[in-house]
């Protein structure tokens, strides 16, 4: 049976799907494989189930050998896969869109609330054992009603965030490649999103054009009282520029679930009370992570059975 290399643990439901079409090898290392380890691990594979921290390029394809037919990335983003190099070799690339939309949108809104209601500060205060007492000026935050949410990238997750924001009475402006005729929010240029929004939430893919999309100039263009939320890909934000902007009071705060050099974080962000940091939890529910892995496995099973993948990525 064809070898299927899985670069890190996946739920049993997904393993069973893979076992129906091949011999499954799951990496025993509970960490990202080094490039050398990854090439050795995928040797002789017909399929690779990869994680977002795996760089899948031509050297990995060469190591897998001529029998490699499919790379199934367990993520909606696929900036870690050289799709052009795979396509040139006739290797199908698939991702896992759709199944993580609600979980990521929920976390995005959780981060908005953590910022505005100072939940992290309050939780740290209670755990510290320091004395505190209720009074009308104690740990005051701000409400969301009547504020403007700016969404950068109105894909499935961006839309889901907008739906949640509407329930909180927020106005929506958005930027992207094109106006969405079936969406009630206001389509404006990216620069206007920055200028008008009380909250800027990032949902664009990581591409050469969006790397450091939020740089020093973009941060200066935001309102001094605005907040930045990133649940897409870390390198969309220049973390050093963000730290500078926060130190200078150019924006009010930020929440990051993803980081430029994950898992490392810009040190100047770590001690700031107006920054909320979470370790890439956007899709981290049992239901969602299982659905992602099963979809990746179904893509592999389909290709190895000679059929079309369910969610193919095109170069």
Active site members:
233, 262, 280
Beta carbons of 260 and 239 less than 8 angstroms apart = yes
φ, ψ for residue 276 (rounded to 5)? -110, 130
* Rg (the chain; Cα; Å): 21
Give the torsion sign (CA, 23, 28, 31, 33): negative
Rounded to 10 degrees, the C-alpha dihedral 258/259/263/265 comes to: -130
Region of 65 please: left (phi>0), alpha (psi -120 to 50) or beta. Answer: left
Read off φ and ψ for residue 27, nearest 5 degrees: -55, 130
Residue with tokens 């190591």: 63
């Amino acid at each position: 049976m064809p070898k299927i290399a899985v670069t890190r643990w996946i739920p049993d439901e997904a393993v069973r799907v893979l076992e129906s079409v091949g011999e499954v090898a799951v990496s025993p290392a509970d960490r990202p494989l080094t490039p050398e380890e990854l090439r050795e691990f995928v040797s002789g594979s017909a399929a690779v189930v990869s994680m977002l921290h795996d760089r899948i390029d031509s050297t990995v394809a060469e190591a897998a050998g001529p029998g490699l037919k499919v790379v199934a990335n367990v993520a909606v983003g696929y900036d870690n896969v050289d799709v052009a190099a795979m396509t040139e070799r006739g290797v199908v690339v698939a991702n896992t869109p759709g199944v993580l939309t609600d979980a990521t949108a929920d976390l995005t809104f959780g981060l908005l609330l953590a910022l505005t209601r100072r939940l992290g500060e309050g939780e740290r205060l209670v755990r510290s054992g320091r004395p505190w007492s209720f009074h009308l000026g104690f740990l005051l935050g701000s409400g969301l009603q009547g504020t403007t949410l700016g969404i950068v990238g109105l894909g499935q997750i961006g839309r889901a965030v907008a739906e949640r924001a509407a329930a909180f009475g927020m106005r929506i402006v958005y930027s992207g490649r094109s106006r969405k005729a079936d969406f009630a929010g206001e389509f404006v240029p990216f620069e206007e999103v920055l200028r008008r929004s009380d909250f800027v939430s990032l949902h664009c893919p990581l591409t050469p054009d969006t790397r450091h999309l939020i740089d020093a100039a973009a941060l200066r263009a935001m309102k001094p009282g605005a907040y930045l939320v990133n649940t897409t890909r870390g390198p969309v934000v220049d973390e050093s520029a963000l730290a500078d902007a926060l130190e200078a009071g150019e924006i009010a705060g930020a929440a990051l679930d993803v980081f430029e050099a994950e898992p490392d974080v810009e040190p100047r962000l770590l001690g700031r009370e107006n920054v909320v940091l979470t370790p890439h939890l956007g899709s981290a529910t049992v239901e969602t992570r299982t659905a992602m892995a099963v979809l990746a496995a179904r893509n592999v099973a389909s290709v190895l059975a000679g059929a079309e993948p369910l969610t193919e990525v095109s170069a």
